[in-house]
Amino acid sequence: MADVEEQLFPKRKERFEDRRKESQQRKLLDEFFDHATLVAISRLVTQGQFDQLDYPISTGKEGGVFRATSGEVFRAVKVYRIGNAVFKRLPAYALEMLKREASTSNYGRLVTGWTRREHSVLHRLYDAGVRCPRPFGYLRNVLVMDFVGDEGLPAPRLQTIALDDPQAVHDDMVVQVRLMVQKARLVHADLSPYNVLFHGGKPVVIDVAQSIEAEHPQAKALLERDVANFAKYFRRLGVPTSPETFMQAVGPLELGPKGG
């Protein structure tokens, strides 16, 4: 019987699947766009930061990233969920740092602090010459930045692609980390092939809100972890590197700004 039905209505299941996906998507979007978030987005539109949101590039527990149109160009708009979702996976040092900076432990205000933090870190990295999205405005839980991609399609994450020349990307990543550390005086602290996009044959660093000051007591350990992640990734691709080699090329954390 099921087979007959399948033959008569071959698309039925698929349509049901589509509808289910659609309603899941709707639920997801309703969750993101609570009233205050819509107000923030509308203000950013009024400010001329972008004209409209086009579609979600990525949605997760902590928030989503949307492509937006701004005149002739695209922008990326990151929307953090209001509530404690953003902080569930956050290590203790990062939450502490945020509470101190935002002088609050109210989750709503912390999300705003987190968004502001991502904005200011992006600024520092961008000004230091690190290849990362240029930040535009932010409001509450919404951050506007450069869209990294071509012809309206977002660039892939390093994790999802095969590199033609892993050595060149390795050397470039070393330069990015060195600029971050020596010039911006920041440690990314969540650097992995998931948080690096590949655009125009070059790596682009994203997802920077948890970055910490080079002077922070945990900075060294976090830098070592970042570097170990990447050394492992590149070794798997056949690049003769190691955490020590990578770290040496980055230079010591203690050196201060003159090392840049």
Q: Which residues are catalytic?
A: 190, 207
Q: Which two tokens stand for residue 20?
A: 């289910």
Q: How far is the CB of 175 from Mg ion (least distance, A)?
A: 21
| Binders in 191-230 for Mg ion, by CB under 5 A | 195, 207
Regarding 207 and contact with ligand ADP (CB under 6 A), the answer is: yes
Contact 144, 136 (CB under 8 A): yes
| Residues 114-133, mask of contacts with ligand ADP (x by CB under 6 A) | -------------------x
When binding is defined by CB under 6 A, the residue of 65, 68, 98, 158 that contacts ligand ADP is 65
Does the protein bind ligand ADP through residue 259 (CB under 6 A)? no
154 binds ligand ADP, rule: CB under 6 A: yes
Query: Using alpha carbons only, what angle is made at residue 209 by residues 122 and 203, rounded to the nearest 5 degrees?
Result: 55
Only segment of 37-45, 46-54, 62-70, 136-144 that touches ligand ADP (CB under 6 A): 62-70
Using alpha carbons, select from 7, 145, 29, 17 the residue that is nearest to residue 81: 29
Nearer to ligand ADP, 35 or 88 (CB): 88
User: Between residues 105 and 159, which has the closer beta carbon with respect to Mg ion?
Assistant: 159
Q: In 3D, which of 77, 54, 198, 45 has the Cα closest to residue 146? A: 77
CB of 50 to ligand ADP, least distance (A): 12
Q: Kindly state the tokens that stand for 130.
A: 């690190």
> Among residues 79, 141, 76, which one has the least CA distance to residue 114?
141
Residue (60 or 71) nearer to ligand ADP, CB = 60
Asked if 226 interacts with ligand ADP (CB under 6 A), we say no
Kindly tell me which of 54 and 101 has the beta carbon lying closer to ligand ADP.
54
Among positions 2, 3, 60, 217, the unique one binding ligand ADP when judged by CB under 6 A: 60
DSSP state of 157: B
The Cα 79–Cα 15 span in angstroms is 30
Choice from 97, 98, 110, 145 touching ligand ADP (CB under 6 A): 145
Give the start-end residues of each E strand in the chain. Answer: 52-59, 63-70, 73-80, 135-139, 142-146, 149-150, 153-154, 186-187, 196-199, 202-205, 212-213
Number of residues in contact with Mg ion, rule: CB under 5 A? Answer: 2
Task: State the number of CA atoms in the 13 A half-sphere of 18 facing the CB.
Answer: 5
Q: Residues 143, 206, 223, 239: which binds ligand ADP (CB under 6 A)? A: 206
Helices (H), the chain: 2-8, 12-32, 35-46, 85-88, 92-102, 107-127, 166-178, 219-236, 243-250
Three-class SS state of 16: helix
Is 148 an interacting residue with respect to ligand ADP (CB under 6 A)?
A: yes
At 186, the amino acid letter reads L
Least distance from C-beta 154 to ligand ADP, angstroms? 4
What residues make contact with ligand ADP under the rule CB under 6 A? Answer: 57-58, 60, 62-63, 65, 76, 133, 145-149, 154-155, 157, 195, 206-207
